[in-house]
């Protein structure tokens, strides 16, 4: 037994450790209840009485030295790991923070709002799930009239009177029904149409509706407002062109084109070699629409317009596929103004 004690004593003295794991190994071998020292204590019970006292003293010394060595190893371990804190190369470049960026559709929306706010337009909002009346009937779409089919509608199956709005024109109605004129507002929002998804069409997209109703509002106000908008949005050189068109809720109606930003009128594939690109539908609010909202068309007149935010964004940033806006591809999104 004496020999064994000597042997273990040596092992303890010679033990060196550099890792947390080996400190734990030391604990298991020499300090724990199942370790070598404890085993010797068990054997002590079998030793003859006259040797017991002397061996007991030696064994106790062994136990103490194992414990103090263990404490020493632990302390050494802790101080080296805290030393590691300063073991960093402070000259290395930092890992940059990953900040997100504004969605290009939002950037366009913010800019549109900014331009119209300066002209005294408020921003208004309305529901995306809408009644047939607000989306069609009040806007002078006759029942069962083919004009309703101009826009492929998603109806709610359980109640065909409820649908996903096909345009933001529903907000015009909500505004005029609930408040008193005059109105000067723009209404940005998401709209839905039952269309096959492609580079040029999507089942949801975004529009900004505009409405200006007051006494003596004329077509020249419409034209000048949109001309001002086009120059602010696309640059001072931009020209506009109005083409006669049809919408049930305006009379007369016009489509607004701007001179092509890419080729400046020379002709390219963006403007399909016409020199012009369409950006909005517009017109003078139809007297029936005013009447449907309880406004006297003899007293008040107004103009309205609606434009696609995707379309304007595609022109602004030369984007050629509508699907990019909703695919959430970080390689696309990170090219736009970062959020700060
Ligand atoms: N609602 C029309 C559409 O989605 C766009 C539009 C055209 C809105 C003329 C208007 C307007 O307010 O006056 O196609």
Specify the ligand 1 atom closest to the Cα of 285. 13
Task: Out of 139, 152, 195, 209, give the residue to mutate to test ligand 1, the one with the largest number of ligand atoms within 8 Å of its CB.
Answer: 209
User: What separation in Å is there between the alpha carbon of 151 and the centre of ligand 1?
Assistant: 11
Residues with CB under 6 A from ligand 1: 167, 169, 209, 247, 250, 281-283, 304-306
Task: Out of 249, 287, 288, 293, give the residue to mutate to test ligand 1, the one with the largest number of ligand atoms within 8 Å of its CB.
Answer: 249
Residue keyed to tokens 């947390």 = 20
Query: For atom 2 of ligand 1, which residue has the closest CA?
Result: 306
Work out the mean pLDDT of the chain and round it to a whole number.
Answer: 92
What confidence tier does 253 reach under pLDDT thresholds 50, 70, 90? Answer: very high
Residues near 78 by beta carbon (within 8 Å), at least 6 away in sequence? none
Query: For atom 7 of ligand 1, which residue has the closest CA?
Result: 281
What confidence tier does 285 reach under pLDDT thresholds 50, 70, 90? Answer: very high
User: What separation in Å is there between the alpha carbon of 263 and the centre of ligand 1?
Assistant: 27
**Percentage of the chain lying above the pLDDT 70 cut:** 97
Query: For atom 8 of ligand 1, which residue has the closest CA?
Result: 306
User: What separation in Å is there between the alpha carbon of 137 and the centre of ligand 1?
Assistant: 14
Q: Which CATH architecture fits 104-333?
A: 2-Layer Sandwich (3.30)
Q: What is the pLDDT of residue 49?
A: 83
Give the pTM.
0.73
The answer to whether residue 80 scores a pLDDT higher than 80 is: no
The answer to whether residue 86 scores a pLDDT higher than 70 is: no
User: What separation in Å is there between the alpha carbon of 165 and the centre of ligand 1?
Assistant: 12
What mean pLDDT do residues 54-68 have? Answer: 90
Nearest Cα residue to 24 out of 57, 73, 60: 73
SS3 192: strand
Query: For atom 6 of ligand 1, which residue has the closest CA?
Result: 306
End-to-end CA distance of the chain: 74
User: What separation in Å is there between the alpha carbon of 306 and the centre of ligand 1?
Assistant: 4
Residues near 177 by beta carbon (within 8 Å), at least 6 away in sequence? 138, 293, 294
């Amino acid at each position: 037994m004496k020999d064994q004690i000597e042997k273990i004593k040596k092992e303890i003295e010679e033990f060196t450790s550099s890792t947390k794991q080996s400190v734990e190994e030391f604990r298991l071998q020499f300090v724990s209840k199942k370790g070598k020292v404890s085993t010797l204590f068990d054997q002590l019970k079998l030793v003859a009485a006259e040797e017991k006292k002397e061996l007991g003293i030696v064994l106790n010394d062994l136990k103490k030295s194992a414990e103090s060595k263990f404490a020493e190893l632990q302390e050494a371990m802790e101080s080296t790991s805290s030393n590691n804190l300063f073991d960093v190369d402070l000259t290395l470049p930092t890992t940059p923070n990953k900040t997100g960026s504004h969605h290009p559709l939002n950037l366009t929306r913010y800019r549109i709002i900014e331009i119209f706010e300066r002209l005294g337009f408020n921003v208004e909002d309305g529901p995306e799930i809408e009644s047939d009346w607000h989306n069609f009937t009040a806007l002078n779409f006759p029942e069962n009239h083919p004009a309703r089919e101009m826009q492929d509608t998603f109806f709610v199956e359980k109640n065909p009177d409820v649908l996903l709005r096909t345009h933001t024109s529903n907000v015009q109605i909500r505004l005029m029904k609930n408040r008193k004129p005059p109105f000067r507002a723009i209404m940005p929002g998401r709209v839905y149409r039952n269309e096959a998804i492609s580079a040029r069409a999507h089942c949801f997209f975004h529009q900004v509706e505009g409405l200006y109703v007051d006494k003596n509002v004329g077509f020249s106000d419409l034209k000048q407002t949109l001309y001002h908008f086009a120059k602010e949005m696309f640059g001072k050189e931009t020209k506009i062109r109005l083409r006669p068109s049809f919408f049930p809720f305006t009379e007369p109606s016009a489509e607004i084109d701007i001179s092509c930003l890419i080729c400046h009128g020379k002709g390219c594939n963006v403007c399909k070699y016409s020199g012009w690109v369409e950006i909005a539908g517009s017109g003078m609010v139809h007297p029936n629409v005013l009447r449907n909202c309880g406004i006297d068309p003899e007293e008040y007149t107004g103009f309205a317009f609606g434009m696609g935010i995707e379309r304007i964004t595609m022109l602004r940033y030369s984007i050629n596929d509508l699907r990019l806006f909703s695919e959430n591809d970080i390689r696309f999104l990170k090219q736009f103004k970062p959020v700060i």
